[in-house]
Structures are given as C-alpha cells and as structure tokens.
Amino acid sequence: MTRAKTAPVLATLTFNPALDLQTGVDFVEPENKLRCDTPRQDAGGGGVNVARVVGQLGGRATCILPLGGSTGDALQALLSAEGLDARVIPIAEKTRQSFTVFDRSRDAEFRFVLPGPRLREREIRALETALAELSPRPDVLVASGSLPDGMDPRRLARLARVARRTGVRLALDASGEGLRAGLEAGVWLVKPNLRELQECLGRDLPDLSSRLAAARELVDDGRAAWVAVSLGREGALLVGAGFAAHALALP
C-alpha cells in the first residue's frame, strides 16, 4: 500500500497588487469619446494571479499583500468573493488600478498600468513579518509582480536568503534590479519573460538555442535550480539540472 502524497503548503507574496479593470470598444482612436462595454473588475497582481490558478487546479495558496484606500477595499472584497485566503497588510496610500481595453477592430489589447503606492519601511517590514508568522510554514513561496516605489530591490535578495535558511523554496517572478538581486542570492525557481532575461544578462537571445544556453547558465552558476522562461506566442522553456523542455503556446 502506497502512502498518499501530502499537498505542499503554498503561499504567494504580492508587493504591488492592482485592482484590474477590463473593457472593450469597437475601435480606439484619438479625441473622440469611446463608448465602452460594461467593465469587469478583478483582483490583480502576480501573486494573486498565481493563487487564483492554484485554486482553479484544486489547491490552495495563501496570499500576502498590502492594500490601502477604496481600491484596496474593493480588491479585498473580490479576494473574499473568490474564496482566496488573504493576509492583508493595511497601508497608508491607495492601491493602484490598471485597465485593459480590447479593440475589436484590430483584435488587439491595450494595457494601461497606473503608478502604485509608495510603501513605507514599516509597511514593508509588516509584509515580511506576516510571511515569517505563517503557520504552517509554506513549502513553496511565490514572490511575483512589480516592486512598489520606496522598496529597495535588494530586499528580494534578503527574501531569497531567508527562504533558503528556513527551508522554503522560493519561486521568483521579478524584473530589473529585483530580478538580478534575487538571482545573486540564489532561488529555487525563477520565471522571467524573454525581455527580462535579456535585460538581466545584458545580451540579445534571438533564438531557442541561445535562450536555452542562457537558462542553463543560470542553473550552472547556482543562481536558480529551475528557470522557466515565458516566450509569448513562442511558448515557454523550462530548464533544470540535466533537464530542458520547450512547450508550445496555447492557441
């Protein structure tokens, strides 16, 4: 008789969540008023999206995130309506909004990301404390999304070191200096898109072979045990020690 596997304990950390608004128009053009479809609102942010998908796959992940103002209240209500487990850190400034407009004439999507709040030092420390106090301690922590104003990207290196010391596998989805800082400290999994990977390494990666070599470089250097590179319409690449796979994009 084989023993059933215990599901891993998952948590997500979203430093800069957003209240997402989506709508559509017949066409986008300057100056004229554009009559939009009835908008849809969703709780957004990298870690929130991860927790949502985990839930849809039958699992559960605790979201840790900062929220403030009326947009923060609306986002928290959406999390509750979805049944997502959230550890909310109240902040002084208002949670940001973002909005997406679908242009039916072009079959194209326009995405607008508004500036987010500036987190105070005590608010950042409160997020770190909430993570440290999670019980049971997560097996996997996904830190995903952009960093807010006022947050030192090197804090992601600190997060990586704490995760390793406490036996938590950190999956990092970051960009720019935050991505570099996390990789310097070393993570379990990193998920850059192609642009982020090119910027991190300082060179173009024009084809699959160069992208595979770049991902292997991160693994061989000990900066990440696993590298998942999202390639848009070209699919995704997953690389680990002695392993590589390329998945085609869904239609």
Q: pLDDT digits over 157-167, tens only?
A: 999 999 999 99
Across the chain, what does the average pLDDT equal?
Answer: 94
* pLDDT for residue 89: 97
Query: Do residues 172 and 189 make contact, with C-beta atoms less than 8 angstroms apart?
Result: yes
* Domain assignment of residue 211, yes or no: no
Cα(52)–Cα(39) distance, rounded to whole angstroms?
20
* pLDDT for residue 150: 78
Residue 2 has pLDDT above 60, yes or no: no
* Domain assignment of residue 182, yes or no: no
* Domain assignment of residue 63, yes or no: yes
% pLDDT > 90, the chain: 94
* pLDDT for residue 250: 86
Reference 229, options 129, 241, 242, 244; nearest CA is 244
Within 8 A by CB and 6+ apart from 21, the residues are 39, 40, 41, 97, 98, 99, 100
CATH code, domain with 147: 3.40.1190.20
* Domain assignment of residue 67, yes or no: yes
- Per-residue pLDDT band for 5 (boundaries 50, 70, 90) equals low
Cα(161)–Cα(248) distance, rounded to whole angstroms?
34
Residue 170 has pLDDT above 70, yes or no: yes
% pLDDT > 70, the chain: 98
Average pLDDT, stretch 214-235? 97
Reference 244, options 199, 223, 202, 214; nearest CA is 214
Cα(72)–Cα(214) distance, rounded to whole angstroms?
39
* Domain assignment of residue 3, yes or no: no
* pLDDT for residue 251: 81
Taking only the tens place, the pLDDT of each residue in 29-79 is: 999 999 999 999 999 999 999 999 999 999 999 999 999 999 999 999 999
* Domain assignment of residue 163, yes or no: no
Strand partners, 108: 103
* Domain assignment of residue 200, yes or no: no
- What does the block give as tokens for 197? 């990977």
The residue segments making up the domain with residue 56 are 10-151
* pLDDT for residue 149: 84
Average pLDDT, stretch 7-33? 95
Q: By three-state DSSP, how is residue 213 classified?
A: helix
Count structural domains, the chain. Answer: 1
- C-alpha angle 91-20-235 in degrees, rounded to nearest 5: 115
Residue 243 has pLDDT above 70, yes or no: yes
Cα(2)–Cα(115) distance, rounded to whole angstroms?
52
Taking only the tens place, the pLDDT of each residue in 89-113 is: 999 999 999 999 999 999 999 999 9
Q: Residue 51: in which H helix or E strand, if any?
A: helix 46-56
* Domain assignment of residue 219, yes or no: no
In the sheet that holds 40-44, the strands lie side by side as 40-44, 18-25, 96-103, 108-113
Residue 1 has pLDDT above 80, yes or no: no
Residue 4 has pLDDT above 70, yes or no: no
